[in-house]
Amino acid sequence: MKISPSRIATFEILSKIETEKSFSSVLLPIYEEKLEAKDRGLCHELTLGTLRKQIYLDRVIEKLTNGKKIDSAIKIILRIALYQLIFLDKIPAHAAINDAVNLTQKAKKKSAKGFVNAVLRRFTRENIELEFSGEIEKLAVETSHPQWLVEKWIADFGFEETATLAAANNETPKPGFRLTAKTTDAVKDALENKNIKNEKAFLRELAENGKIYFQDEGSQIVGNAVQLKENESFLDICAAPGSKATLVASKKEKGKRKNLIVAGDFYWQRVKHLQENCRNQGVGFVNIVQYDAENALPFADESFDVILLDAPCSGTGTIRHNPEIRYFLQKKDFAELSGKQLKILCRASKQVKRGGRIIYSTCSLEKEENEEVVGKFLDENKDFRPINPQVDEVFLTRQGFARTFPQRDKMDGFFIAVFEKM
Ligand SMILES: C[S@@+](CC[C@H](N)C(=O)[O-])C[C@H]1O[C@@H](n2cnc3c(N)ncnc32)[C@H](O)[C@@H]1O
């Protein structure tokens, strides 16, 4: 029984995402490292592709099985096979089907082999057409987003904008990267002149050595909005894994590092990752702290000139990179998260000096986590006034905040608000 290692890896990754709520961005690098180069690409494509089409594929499965209740491992096997049959034209149907049947045995579901085979053969014989109760359900199923989320976005952004957003969420993002404190002139030259043979491998090696850092453009805009003046002290309050803290720190020229830079987070594993990231990118001078920013911060009041609060959030702006987020989210999460965000923002407000600034950001598209949190904060803290974020003016909103959108800007969706303490 020979099964392609890429399909075995995809099955294991998707099973972990389904049962343990793990993230594809965490699992893929772990599995891909163990795969041979020829299998890596297919595993990547099958994992992210199947996730991006999950609701649609489930509707096809429902139709093919006449709504029969299906074991979760079998459903994952069927999703992977149908993704190949429907969306990948270079894979022969027999390869997708045979591997699905063999995976069924490997998953210790031998008795379901005939069922899997029959369902997939039926698909190759019949013309499957899905029916929808209306335009909203059609959009939700065809773009594989939960209907409640599509309905919420339609209420917030309108139907057309939601349709383009949902479609953009299923596009493969162009990998973004930036230079680091360790980028040498030779690397800059090579990147500018593009005289590189295997660009993917070259960039991966640079990233491993901390000479570049893979970071979406939207996230870079947040980091770049933190513009430290000479001698200003800086706290990145929710910093792990350190994408923005390392960007801010990388701007400090050697020999002129007078700014105190502190970065902290709640979870020990994430704090360790933050520390490794700082070291790898040549900014080991960043002071790392572990704390619970919701309850107490280990600093005296008014200790910092500038604070970045890149708050824990729903992440709906990053669905392109993390397709599974949409299936984990529940309606009630936005209200819960906004409570946490406001609490940390109020803590941060005590730590910033008069005349200093707080940069509040999220990678969420939801007003509950953005404008509404900011509105409540300003209502309760009259000694703060909003000022325009330091970003290209195309990203500024009418209310004086900044937003990026996957469908409009071809980058992850971020929100930025800046407050000055008077
Ligand atoms: C959006 S992520 C930060 C990403 C980071 N700024 C970057 O650019 O790499 C939010 C972070 O908040 C942290 N966090 C959640 N609750 C926290 C708390 N109570 N105190 C401190 N950090 C917390 C999470 O562990 C997570 O690392």
pLDDT for residue 230: 86
**Using a 6 Å cutoff on CB, does residue 369 contact ligand 1?**
no
Q: What is the CATH number of domain 217-421?
A: 3.40.50.150
**Using a 6 Å cutoff on CB, does residue 244 contact ligand 1?**
yes
**Residue 181 confidence (pLDDT) above 70:** yes
Say which residue, 254 or 190, is predicted with more confidence.
190
pLDDT for residue 59: 98
Which of 214, 265, 277, 316 best tests ligand 1's pocket when mutated (most atoms within 8 Å of CB)? 265
Nearest residue (CA) to ligand 1, atom 15:
312
Q: Among 350, 6, 16, 324, which residue's Cα sits nearest to residue 145? A: 324
5-131: in CATH 1.10.940.10: yes
pLDDT for residue 313: 98
Please write the tens of the pLDDT for every residue from 354-401: 999 999 999 999 999 999 999 999 999 999 999 999 999 999 999 999
Question: What is the average per-residue pLDDT within 56-82?
Answer: 97
Which of 235, 266, 322, 366 best tests ligand 1's pocket when mutated (most atoms within 8 Å of CB)? 266
pLDDT for residue 293: 97
**Residue 402 confidence (pLDDT) above 80:** yes
pLDDT for residue 136: 98
pTM of the model: 0.95
* Of the candidate ranges 145-159, 196-210, 297-311, 327-341, the one whose mean pLDDT is the lowest: 196-210
**Using a 6 Å cutoff on CB, does residue 267 contact ligand 1?**
yes
Every domain range in the chain assigned CATH 3.40.50.150: 217-421
**Using a 6 Å cutoff on CB, does residue 343 contact ligand 1?**
no
**Residue 4 confidence (pLDDT) above 80:** yes
**Using a 6 Å cutoff on CB, does residue 241 contact ligand 1?**
yes
Confidence of residue 226 (pLDDT cuts 50, 70, 90): very high
**Using a 6 Å cutoff on CB, does residue 218 contact ligand 1?**
no
Atom of ligand 1 lying closest to residue 293 CA: 20
| pLDDT > 90: percent of the chain | 92
**Residue 301 confidence (pLDDT) above 90:** yes
Question: What is the average per-residue pLDDT within 223-248?
Answer: 96
CA of 308 to the centre of ligand 1 (A): 11
Please write the tens of the pLDDT for every residue from 19-44: 999 999 999 999 999 999 889 999 99
Atom of ligand 1 lying closest to residue 241 CA: 9
Structure tokens at 107: 């998953």
pLDDT for residue 259: 81
Question: What is the average per-residue pLDDT within 210-234?
Answer: 96
**Using a 6 Å cutoff on CB, does residue 62 contact ligand 1?**
no
Please write the tens of the pLDDT for every residue from 250-294: 998 666 667 899 999 999 999 999 999 999 999 999 999 999 999
Question: What is the average per-residue pLDDT within 319-333?
Answer: 97
Every domain range in the chain assigned CATH 1.10.940.10: 5-131
Nearest residue (CA) to ligand 1, atom 23:
266
Say which residue, 229 or 274, is predicted with more confidence.
274
CB atoms within 10 A of CB 296: 9
Question: What is the average per-residue pLDDT within 343-347?
Answer: 97
**Using a 6 Å cutoff on CB, does residue 268 contact ligand 1?**
no
| pLDDT > 70: percent of the chain | 99
pLDDT for residue 1: 72
Q: Among 368, 306, 305, 311, which residue's Cα sits nearest to residue 335? A: 368
Atom of ligand 1 lying closest to residue 242 CA: 9
